[in-house]
Structure 1
Amino acid sequence: MTERSDHPTGDGTVPIIPYDTFEAANLFLATGRPSREVLPLIGVSPAEWARLREAYRWFPSHFGDSQRRAYFGRLDDSAILRLVLGPRWSLKGSDAPDLRATWHIREAVRRTPHIGPFAGCGWPITWIAAHAEATLCCYTHDGQTVYFDGKPLSGRKGERLEVDAESFAPVGGRWLRDKHRIYGQGEAGAKPTFYWYPVDGADPATFEALNLRYARDQARAYYITGKTIRTKSADAFEVVPELRLNYRDGTCDLLGDISILARDREAVYFYGTRLKGARPDSFRDLGHGYATDGAAVWFLEQKRLIEGADAATFTVPGPGEPHVYGRSGGHGAADRHRPYVGAKPCIPSDWVDDWRPFFAARPDLSGWWWHQLSKAH
């Protein structure tokens, strides 16, 4: 007997199932169990499941509000929770009616998915971990095969990747391991397709993930595309945080987890490749693709040294300062000699009006190109 009920919305009805039942069904499907076996137990058709899943899967997050409201006829969180929590869960008197509070139900089902209509199914399943970025997708196994989002792990060409299911576990970021090897999770294509590969030569005993893209062991460093970095100082290999400039709230964030920058004692690395000439000890990101080591400036999106840039005064307008855009896209920067857009130096006299708000907000600066030219405008 299923736990399905039907809720009226507008001109029709939509199926309602308990939220924990949804999470259990989703988990079994993610572990390769075919929908023809799973969906009859919860009493929904494939078409009904597709729509229900779009509404339910976002419950513990900040996303998916429009899908939820459309599915449940614009009910508020309190009314939705009354529909989906029973029979095994309920709101306590002190609980605020917030769908995001259902995260603990998801975690409980991941530990014990054989509930409700699945209590007697006997299907083997172990939840391993959520993906570090695509957090709605997860790694699971059935005792023999490791699955990701319903499919066995595969290599870049689609070949089946054989791993030890019982010992398979995350290391951190997009790096994983079993009792035999270390694995990386790459992406390919304009619409990224995930694939997995053994990290050749990695030492499982000393391997550590540094972020989503970089890792190291006692002898080498690694980039997530499968590149082995022949560092001479693996013990000093570290991520250089990227700088995100938030103009809406006037803050800056140092992004270590997703950074494409790293360094050791000898070099700076960009997407796992050496950035020629960069001094590692003083290298830092400036935001919007610009970076400096205190002696030179790079525009990283083109991996180009900005010829003639004065590193001592090179400035990227930050939060709280008037922002300057390029005429055909991109973000402006300046030093005491001239303005820049990307790696391209600009003719100062053409940009006096564009930079006027910035220099008006920075009375601490003097003697720059703008001050000399603004007298003539």
Structure 2
Amino acid sequence: MATFRHPGTVLTDHFLTVPLDHDDPAGETIQVYAREVVAPSTTGKPWLVFLQGGPGSAAPRPIGRDSWIDRALDDYRVLLLDQRGTGRSTRISRQSLAGRGSPPAQAEYLAHFRADSIVRDAEILRRHLLGAGTKWTVLGQSFGGFCAVTYLSFAPEGLREALITGGLPGLSARAEDVYRATYPRVAAKNDAHYARYPEDVDAVRAIAAHLREHDVRLPGGGRLTLPAFQALGLALGSSTGSHELHYLTEDAFESAGVLSDAWLSTVEHRLSFVTNPAYPLLHEATYGQGDGATNWAAHRVRAEHPQFDTGDRILFTGEMHYPWQFETDPALAPMREAAELLAARPHWPRLYDAARLGTNEVPVAAAVYYDDMYVDRDLSLGTAAKIAGARVWITNEYEHDALRVTSGAVLDRLIAMNRGEV
């Protein structure tokens, strides 16, 4: 257990062995890692465990009291959990999956990396660090908020309170329901982007025409198709994403008919999943519950929104994952068969317990971003109404990444809500 210091903080590494399958505690095990962050001379403060968005993203790597952590450290000992499959926990990667053997074996392994397993990991960690009969606060961002609702459903006895930002899932929404709700929101983000930067209509159209007419290869060998280029719209749901996309599209061509190496390198960095392959592998699985395969829901529902494939303007897509990504991205290609098997998986365990949420006694404060491109506002509000005692702050002041970019203001509001101060 290593401990080191940053300006204003003391950080301690924690590693723990947990079952791969919590229903088979004597079976295969994996490693879970979490980083404790405290202010110097901290004593007696309650614990806050942070659940990162994703799936497939490691917890933040803070340097000192940066971002929301500065506000959290005023009141808590912070624990940054690398959810299973990410960071320094047992990681999902091209190399690690290859060691699992056949694609069916890989898919079966990956099925154990959803919110239900993450919550059970957290409970083992809580008992290990705090002792039996103790409770801690959970802060969930985006997918981490989904995990927090799973926590409230199946292990509320471990929670003293829940803080959720941009992460209230539809309790019974299937994957196709989610995309039917979010495709129109993505289209609206495109409208806002082109209203802000009308010159981008022609710039994007020129790039699209080039991609239709040429076999464009990225520096790492992946193929840049028009649908892949459209996937850059994932950024449109963040606070600065529209501006970043504008700068990217204004600087594409080295000369007439030649896309610049620098531009292609930047695009590759944004599109490649070499650092987080679990995101496209497991994203739709986060909506899988009960009988019925997710079956590439984003791909299927896209056909109901032809404006993304026809029309005068080129529309960018958002947080959608498609089967072609496992052909064009070299980092994902070795996992294609496993991805297909996950998409075809006929049954998934339930992630939420509506009856238990209806009798919830844990204080819950949640921020719902009115124009959120990633997590549908209406689905979120429907869930909030079913969690007994939940307090909700609905705001259009911020985008989905508000926790990260507001220097603790969002977290401060959620803490105050649970204390009855606002």
Higher relative CO (Cα under 8 Å, sequence separation at least 6) belongs to 2
For the superposition of Structure 1 and Structure 2, which TM-score range results when normalised by the shorter chain?
Answer: under 0.3
TM-score normalised by the chain length of structure 2: 0.23
Greater strand percent: which structure?
1
TM-score normalised by the chain length of structure 1: 0.24
Greater helix percent: which structure?
2
- Larger CA Rg, structure 1 vs 2: 1
